[in-house]
A = this chain, B = another copy of it.
Amino acid sequence: MDVRKKLSERFAGVEGGLFSNVTKADVGDGFSAMGKDKVTLMGWADPFYPDPSIPEHIKQVMIEEIQNGFPSHYIMPSGSLALRERVAKKLKQKNHLDVDPKRNILITPGSDSGLFYAMAVLLDQGDEVLVPDPSYPNNFLDPKLLGATAVSVPLAHDDGYSLDIEAFQAALTSRTKAVVLTHPNNPTTTVFRKENLEVLAEFVIKNDLMLVVDQAFEDSVFDDIEFITPASLPGMWERTITVFSISKGMGLSGFRVGYIAACDQIMDAMYGAAVNVLGASNTLAQLGAIAAFDAPDFIDPYIQSFDYRRKKAFEIFGSVPGVKIEMPESGFYCWVDVSGLGDSTDVMNYLVQEAKVAVNDGKNYGKQGNGHLRIIHGCLGSDEEAVLTMRRMADALVKYPKRNGE
């Protein structure tokens, strides 16, 4: 028998996923193998990876909790109420969302499953979802896995990758159900501006759509750009499911703790099926997350480090002939246009060989990602090593062999 024929149509043909350059059914071991080859990983969106990076006060709480022996037990699928209370406080202060922790917050085992779940409760077979391009790969694949269709909407490249409402309008059909936004955008680092988001909100409301927003990178926004949470815009609370994470901003990726904010009616369904789709979130990590929210200042030096590194990245890659880079607006990565050198997959593979550094091919982030690389400058514990590694890449790129016929 050919088991492949037994797979759901939604999953048939799925392979790889997280990175394009993997062996089938072997996601990640490709990267493990690179590790053995002394390749530095700058394609792994995990602050300071692989160096130690748990703040002392969080360590202490977690060690105490292990010693007291409780974390072998479940916390309810909706999440620790104590953690939801901390999250509610943060949502009010940072996101201008005033919500009831008992009704409007769901703790998720990371924001990836949270993002999937947010789309799952909205999408029916045949629905269409408008996805800015480039953006996070899951925005394109998740709708397909749910029997819906992701419709790519090109961002306005010449206008700093802002949302092009005319392009949204052009992609709209009677089947359009929702817009999915990564904000700040990954991989472009774009922080969508207030006026841009207001026009998007108007489009969503006028066309009776829903909005899913992934705000995983909201904590590292630079140059005093105003950060707006779309759910806080007039008329948008009931239309928006917002997905958050402690992986990026707090640098606690391995904890797998995310959270979702949405209105009561959406949460009725999300709480009700949480044990089905998500199970529950890790108990000890939730207790650690409470400690993180109680004393969140530990992230200040992280942001300073990312700020320093982005400026260095801009300087280092900007100096390579044929390479274009804009100053990153957010996050701990940069989006580099290498189309002047050649095909981005070729350039990525060249960097593994010549500079012993692995980065992400822009092709994973949508059609508009072609010709680009995403380089995570936030990897590695020391700024110095991160900068040296970027210099090593730049030195290799300067020597990038000319294409045939050039």
Contact = CB atoms under 8 A, between A and B. Distances in A.
A271 interface: yes
B253 A15 contact: no
A291 B67 CA distance: 16
A358 interface: no
A29 B81 contact: yes
Max count, chain B CB within 10 A of own CB: residue among A4, A17, A281 = A17
Interface string A62-98: 1100111111111111100100000000000000000
A275 interface: yes
Interface string A357-398: 000000000000000000000000000000000000000000
Contacts of A272: 14-17, 27
Contact of A109 (B1, B18, B109, B145): B109
Interface in A180-236: 208, 210
Contacts of A210: 6
A282 B268 contact: no
Contacts of A27: 76-78, 271-272, 274-275
A127 to B, nearest CB: 8
Interface stretch (A115-123, A321-329, A347-355): A115-123
A8 interface: yes
Interface in A136-150: 138, 141-142, 145, 147
A46 interface: yes
A18 B281 CA distance: 15
Nearest to A59: B66
A356 interface: no
Given A147-B147, A254-B75, A272-B17, A70 B52 contact: yes
A113 interface: yes
B285 A282 contact: yes
A40 interface: no
Given A49-B74, A268-B14, A284-B285, A112 B25 contact: no
B73 A50 contact: yes
Interface of A: 1-4, 6-12, 14-18, 24-29, 31-32, 44, 46-54, 59, 62-63, 66-78, 81, 102-103, 109-114, 116, 120-125, 138, 141-142, 145, 147, 177, 208, 210, 238-239, 247, 251-256, 258, 263-269, 271-285
12 contacts: A6-B239, A8-B120, A10-B120, A15-B272, A17-B274, A26-B103, A46-B74, A50-B70, A109-B281, A112-B275, A113-B279, A282-B284
